[in-house]
Structure 1
């Protein structure tokens, strides 16, 4: 097995993963499966979560601050594991970073949903911020409309805080899911795109209520594959190495975020305060 000292310096750096909270851990899990030899730095801006209720400029400001922090760490790429942050900031971040620092964002998994639907109706469960952004509208226009597929959107301000609180299968969570998803089910949608990285953690609750209606799709695996491609193009992969390490940081209270993060991630995570993140202002 190759030692780290034999790798170029950029290959030895971790990959930065950013989300407004713990939802991006669904993307981090996919990244770990796709790139087991890589080191990761996960940053949850839990103090400002959820982003979906913030105004456009606040979302852009917080996202830029987080990505700059990860870049200074230094990391070799930043994964924007937040649909709302991607919707408002992705193009501007890539223009800021240039070619030297790859940035991979999230695009709702509408394309596979359109390809798989038999009813011709697809649902998207999203946050208010993601629906306000142009990214989802652009994908609908480019992918769904030419195929003659109807896209119905459902939005909730309650689901992300419930996941952040560890209540992903609580009665209140199921009641909210029934409220927002029942209209889509009645219209015959057979595919449901999870348009927020918190929502894959609601799979069990959604399936308990709507298993006969929906197949669920999210973007995590596609993001992981794209990250591999981007790093391979830059000759920056850390392959053929033992399992990489994960360090997690939060702008919120680590004592509150840590237990929820560990349960969602499926292994113990020692969550540190954001002030301990090298590069933090």
Structure 2
């Protein structure tokens, strides 16, 4: 295994950059190759078959660029098709799922709310996850259509976004939730707004740090403890308009990064 090979990370858009940031903090010496499938964002309104097709296309590309692990930094994609990826490819495939388990440990009221895309909440994987903890807490699910569109537009704190967050958060609070799970990596960018709307007594659970720790664990296992030989560089691709993704990238990652087109 070539330890200078990058960690491949992808999402339908910018949500997975929050996971990439956490991976960078855990593994500053690793090279990262990020793909935003922006042309097809959001995945939340796509069929499972379409999502599976895109996941294979992007994974093939990442592996062609030498990726030694692939992070599916999207809850919808993970729940829709990560099992098929793991059956097809031999490299470590790491996904994300709503942080129900840590929320169960954090709740005091015994009521946990999950904010996610409608597609994530409809999958068998999420239903299985919820069933594992149904005897321990009351789990409330809140579909959040349109929220990803606001985030892709870098509209993190406008009146329109605040109104959507209130629309999705308040029913959870009215039912007694004291812990809210962010079940979409895009929502990480709204964590401060969600916390402000929910109030100081409500715990907000996201999973990007846990995913980064799992990446560390899987790489240590597959490399038998050898250290990385990367230089901490990052490369970025998008299937959409590079100019639009460059603007998004400058806002949530930092200025000056080149963006290439995924053909």
TM-score interval for Structure 1 and Structure 2 normalised by the shorter chain = over 0.9
- Counterparts of 1:27 and 1:238, CA distance in 2: 23
The corresponding residue for 1:279 is none
Deviation at 1:239, TM superposition (A): 3.5
Deviation at 1:233, TM superposition (A): 0.9
- Counterparts of 1:109 and 1:46, CA distance in 2: 25
Q: Is the 8 A contact 1:228 1:237 kept in 2?
A: no
Is 2:146 aligned against 1:158? yes
Q: Which residue of 77, 95, 104 corresponds with 2:69?
A: 77
The corresponding residue for 2:97 is 107
Q: Is the 8 A contact 1:81 1:106 kept in 2?
A: yes
In the TM superposition, 1:201-280 aligns within 5 A as 201-235=189-223, 239=227, 243-266=231-254, 268-275=256-263
- Counterparts of 2:151 and 2:171, CA distance in 1: 22
- Counterparts of 2:224 and 2:30, CA distance in 1: 10
Is 2:84 aligned against 1:92? yes
SS of corresponding position for 1:11? coil
- Counterparts of 1:258 and 1:187, CA distance in 2: 41
Q: Is the 8 A contact 1:185 1:213 kept in 2?
A: no
- Counterparts of 1:112 and 1:75, CA distance in 2: 30
Q: Is the 8 A contact 1:38 1:238 kept in 2?
A: no
Deviation at 1:212, TM superposition (A): 3.4
CA displacement 1:49-106 (0-9 Å, x = unmatched): 0000011211111111111111121200100000000011111110111xx3110001
- Counterparts of 1:91 and 1:242, CA distance in 2: 29
Deviation at 1:237, TM superposition (A): 6.9
Q: Is the 8 A contact 2:109 2:177 kept in 1?
A: yes
SS of corresponding position for 2:156? coil
- Counterparts of 1:185 and 1:259, CA distance in 2: 35
- Counterparts of 1:274 and 1:74, CA distance in 2: 15
Q: Is the 8 A contact 2:4 2:230 kept in 1?
A: no
CA displacement 1:145-186 (0-9 Å, x = unmatched): 232x01111112211011111101111111011111111011
- Counterparts of 2:44 and 2:72, CA distance in 1: 15
- Stretches of structure 1 that go unaligned for 5 or more consecutive residues are 1-8, 276-281
Is 2:179 aligned against 1:187? no
In the TM superposition, 1:7-86 aligns within 5 A as 10-86=2-78
SS of corresponding position for 2:3? helix
Q: Which residue of 125, 128, 131 corresponds with 2:121?
A: 131
- Over the residues paired in the alignment, what is the CA RMSD in angstroms? 1.6
TM-score normalised by length of structure 2: 0.95
CA displacement 1:5-25 (0-9 Å, x = unmatched): xxxx52110000010001000
Number of equivalences:
263
- Counterparts of 2:70 and 2:78, CA distance in 1: 12
